[in-house]
Structure 1
Amino acid sequence: MNWRSIFFAAPLAALAFAATAATASAAGPTCPDGAIKVGAVSTITGPADFSEVPKATKAAFDALNAAGGLNGCKIDYTIEDDKADPAVAAQAARDLIDNKEVVALVGSASLLDCAVNAATYNRKKVLSVQGLGVDAACFSSPSISPVNVGPYTLSTAMGYFATKTLKAKNLCAFFIIIGGTQEAYKKSIADWEKITGQKIHLLDLTLPFQGDLTPYVIKARDAGCDAVLTNQVEPQVVQLIKTVDAQKITGINWLFLAPAYTEQVAKALADSKQPIYAGTEWEPYTETGAEANAQWIADMKKAGRPLTAFSQGGYLAAKNFLKVIEGIDGPVTRESVTKALYDMKPIKDPLAGSPWIFGKAKTHSPMRSTKVMKLEKGAWVVETPDFVVLPKVN
């Protein structure tokens, strides 16, 4: 099966999933209950809206269903809104697992799903192909494997880029710490130190989510930082750079994570002369002419979904999940899906710089690459045409 054209390509209906998934000696996946039940727990209402991730997953499943399903089996997909409330998130997971009897979770994207429900998923032996891992528990659970790099590995990767490409000698890191993320960010810096053999010049874990940033930019200047790495999101990115400009600070490269990579940030900082970089989770979504994005763009346009990094995550989660269950010979159950995810081989996809795998392990953080974007005159341009791939940590 050509997985680059599985969802919306014109000949999809004629692909005959039964023929491609089955062989003379294997029946392929079957669904005695009439459908394969899958779910997602995502933050949709509340302080953040990650709905575009599971909506892209749903678009992929809907297209598959319209073409007759996987070997005749259609996907019954349910999205639960956890409202960024731990109690609601816990109830959403229980409803999907116990009442709807999902075989797996696919395309979830939440502020707290992983932290709240990882133990439940492990206990119930149901696995989650996370469309967007956000909190630290998404990358430290045996039952969850995100298809995105995530803020912690991306912090290591951006530090690696600063050292290897920008030749930074005095890397400084300023992190906002929310919930239980402190140890994950400290580990990201420790991993960078192991990979590069350098020591962090300054590590500050007190950066505020709101408030005056002047003391922090002055601290970076006075400490002699030649590169500053931070995990701020869109409004704080703009505030930080405007504060840097107001203080007339020069000679520092400013390194941000994926939340900085937005058109709004680019427009807001169009007049800044600061060297500003942002890491991506997948192939840069603004590169609409990139071959790696071609099928995703065609599929999302046909589904009426926006072209965002969030939709890349949901789309990739669906593709990877379908690729795995395509190889099941017999009923698609929670047990058979779990076994298939445990036994799978790594999946390579043009959208990502690293192969994705679930496998049986205590933790899962398979995605270890980024393409770095640079802000130039109000637009993001690709700084690294090839993915920056992190070496393994010894």
Structure 2
Amino acid sequence: MLKTLKVMAAGLALSLLTAMSAHAAASCGDGSGKAAEGEPIVIGAITGKTGPDDFSNSTKAAKAYFDCLNANGGIKGRPIKYVVEDDQWNPETAAQLGAKIVNDEKAVLMVGNSSYVECGANAEFYKKSGIYVIAGVGVPRECFFAENYAPTNAGPRVSMLGAMGYALDKLNAKSVACIGPNIPNVGTWSCEGVALLAKEKGFKADVILMDPGSADATSVILQAAASKPDVIVLGMSKGVAVPLLTAAEEQGLNQTITFLSAASAYDLSVPATIGSGWDGKFFVNMEFNDLEADTPDNKNWLAVMDEYGQESDPRDTFAQAGYLAARIAEKALMTLDPNNITRETASAAVRQVKDFKSDIFCAPWYFGDGQPRHNANSTTRMAVSEGGKWKVVSDCAPSPDPELKDIRAFEATMK
């Protein structure tokens, strides 16, 4: 029954978005409508499509944008050949695929990556190979602590801390339980951030790590609720978070505990799927703009998805991330001589991206040339489930993650 409701809600959300954006024409490249016919520029990506959940929405959106770009002149006449591989949530597979794309396909950049395991498997390899990554969705800590790896999203820890900051400031929370996946440098890293912020405020946080592929949702929820926290913060993908919320409602916990989540649960289908029992009681962090925002770039993202993506491709926060990653790559490559686009020149161009503005971001995105790590997106919004939809309830606010001190210091030098 739950699966049927999810499918129906997702279909309704897609229909509404298609109707909203069908009148807009996708804008990409030089807008000439002339297909690029030169020598292809190889760009790679690794994503976790098969496994505990389909985590490939970023690469689907990046592909849609690159297809649009190729139909409108490409990079000064040269089309993008976008090579996407599925790591199946397996680090060994991710490492093999990384070597294939870099060594065999001779990619000049990696763009739109979205995986729970790929950063840890490949970050050092990318550095040794001299290839840069404009990721769509970084998840583990390695995605944000690597010299050659720069995601467009905020990441689970920064996003969860954004949610936790809202719980402290607006919901008067005095106790918390954090649920994260037991994936190395994902759940522990993120929930430790929540616990650290709670400690700074003078109260204890409980941390529960779960296997996203096989854990019993009811057992996990009861464990988290045992200490009777004011709020429970989730750091799971949408496909795992929804069953947790269903289990919580079955136990009546939606009446006594407020639930919050990282941006991974920010999908148009979720409010209708979880139902009215969560109205005003389930808050999510938004790493990007409202999915239905009537702003130029957000409307263009939707138009690109409608015209060049598949109808089944989700229009969610991770799709926004992939679209932005592709746009940033386009901006970098457009600065180059089309006859001299190599891994070296492409890498140098990415390092010089300093002020990429989009109404989908809260603040301009930058690479941070010379910095040992990258987390440019760290200013986020919040929304609440209400009436089968998301209602935005906050303006853009910096994440209170204590680990961002070095990022804030670098940004101060950029003014």
TM-score range, shorter-chain basis?
0.7 to 0.9
Q: 2:44 aligned with 1:44, yes or no? A: no
Aligned residue among 325, 333, 342 for 1:317:
325
Q: Shift of the alpha carbon at 1:50?
A: 3.0
Bigger drift between 253-262 and 119-128 goes to: 253-262
Q: SS of 1:145's equivalent?
A: strand
TM-score normalised over the length of structure 1: 0.82
Distance 1:203 1:354, change over 3 A: farther
Match of 1:356 in 2: 365
State the AA in 1 paired with 2:325: A
Aligned to 2:285: 279
Does the CA contact (< 8 Å) of 1:201 and 1:225 recur in 2? no
Pairwise CA RMSD: 3.1
* 2:79 counterpart of 1:74: yes
> 1:377 maps to which residue?
387
Q: Please state whether the residue corresponding to 1:175 is helix, strand or coil.
A: strand
Does structure 1 conserve the Cα–Cα contact (< 8 Å) formed by 2:137 and 2:152?
yes
- Counterparts in 2 of 1:183-198, with a 5 A limit? 183-189=188-194, 192=197, 197-198=200-201
**Structure of larger gyration radius:** 1
Distance 1:342 1:218, change over 3 A: closer
Q: Partners of 2:320 and 2:54 in 1: how far apart?
A: 15
The 1:208–1:347 alpha-carbon spacing in structure 2 relative to 1, beyond 3 Å, is same
SS at match of 2:276: coil
Q: Percent identity?
A: 27
* AA at the equivalent of 1:202: A
- Whether 1:389 and 2:407 are equivalent positions in the alignment is no
Matched-pair contact (CA < 8 Å) for 1:288–1:297? no
Post-superposition offset of 1:268: 3.3
**Residue 278 of structure 1: how far off its partner (Å):** 1.1
The 3-state SS of whatever aligns with 1:69 is coil
CA change 1:57–1:175 in 2 (3 A) is closer
Aligned counterpart, 1:342: 351
> In 1, are the aligned partners of 2:177 and 2:208 still within 8 Å (CA)?
no
The 1:37–1:244 alpha-carbon spacing in structure 2 relative to 1, beyond 3 Å, is closer
Q: Is the 8 A contact 1:170 1:200 kept in 2?
A: yes
Bigger CA drift: 230-239 or 33-42?
230-239
User: Which residue number in structure 1 is paired with residue 266 of structure 2?
Assistant: 261
Q: In structure 1, what residue type is equivalent to 2:83?
A: T
**Structure 1 residues 109 and 273 mapped into 2: Cα distance closer, same or farther (>3 Å)?**
closer
Would the alpha carbon gap of residues 235 and 67 (structure 1) be closer, same or farther in structure 2, given more than 3 Å must change?
closer
Q: 1:292 to 1:190 in 2, by over 3 A?
A: farther
Q: Quick check: 1:161–1:388 contact (8 Å CA) kept in 2?
A: no
Q: Find 1:231's aligned residue among 231, 235, 240.
A: 235
Q: Kindly tell me: are residues 245 and 87 of structure 1, through their superposed partners in 2, closer, same or farther at Cα, counting changes over 3 Å?
A: closer
What is the match of residue 68 of structure 2? 63
Match of 1:99 among 92, 98, 104: 104
How far did residue 89 of structure 1 move?
1.9
One-letter code aligned to 1:314:
G
Higher alpha-carbon deviation: 53-62 or 321-330:
321-330
Residue matched to 1:117: 122
**Residues 139 and 186 in structure 2, CA contact (< 8 A), matched pair in contact too:** no
User: Judging changes above 3 Å, is the alpha-carbon distance between structure 1 residues 299 and 49 closer, same or farther for their aligned structure 2 residues?
Assistant: same
- The yes-or-no answer on 1:141 pairing with 2:150 is no
In the alignment of these two chains, the number of paired residues is: 370
**Residues 259 and 186 (structure 1), Cα distance of their counterparts in 2 relative to 1, 3 Å cut:** closer
| 1:367 alignment partner, one of 361, 364, 377 | 377
- The runs of 5 or more residues in structure 1 that have no matched partner are 1-6, 18-30
Quick one: which amino acid aligns to residue 293 of structure 1? N
1:305-325 Cα distance to aligned partner (Å, 9 max, x none)? 442333212111000111122
Alpha-carbon contact 2:46-2:85 (below 8 Å) kept: yes
Helix, strand or coil for the counterpart of 2:151?
A: coil
CA contact (8 A) 2:48 2:115 kept: yes
Superposition deviation, residue 263 in structure 1: 4.2
- 1:10-31 per-residue CA deviation (whole Å, 9 max, x = no partner) reads 99444999xxxxxxxxxxxxx9
Greater mean alpha carbon deviation, residues 83-92 or residues 199-208: 199-208
Deviations, residues 184-239 of structure 1 (Å, cap 9, x unaligned)? 22442266359xx413432223456422536754764x645322212234355344
Q: Structure 2 matches for 1:129-168, cutoff 5 A?
A: 129-168=134-173
Residue 60 of structure 2 contacts residue 309 of structure 2 at CA under 8 Å; is this kept in 1? no
Q: Hey, which of these two has a bigger chunk of helix by percent?
A: 2
Amino acid in structure 2 at the alignment position of 1:381: K
Q: Quote the offset at 1:119 in angstroms.
A: 1.2
Which region of structure 1 is more displaced relative to structure 2, 46-55 or 372-381?
46-55
Query: Per-residue deviation at 1:271?
Result: 3.2
Distance 1:155 1:379 in 2: 21
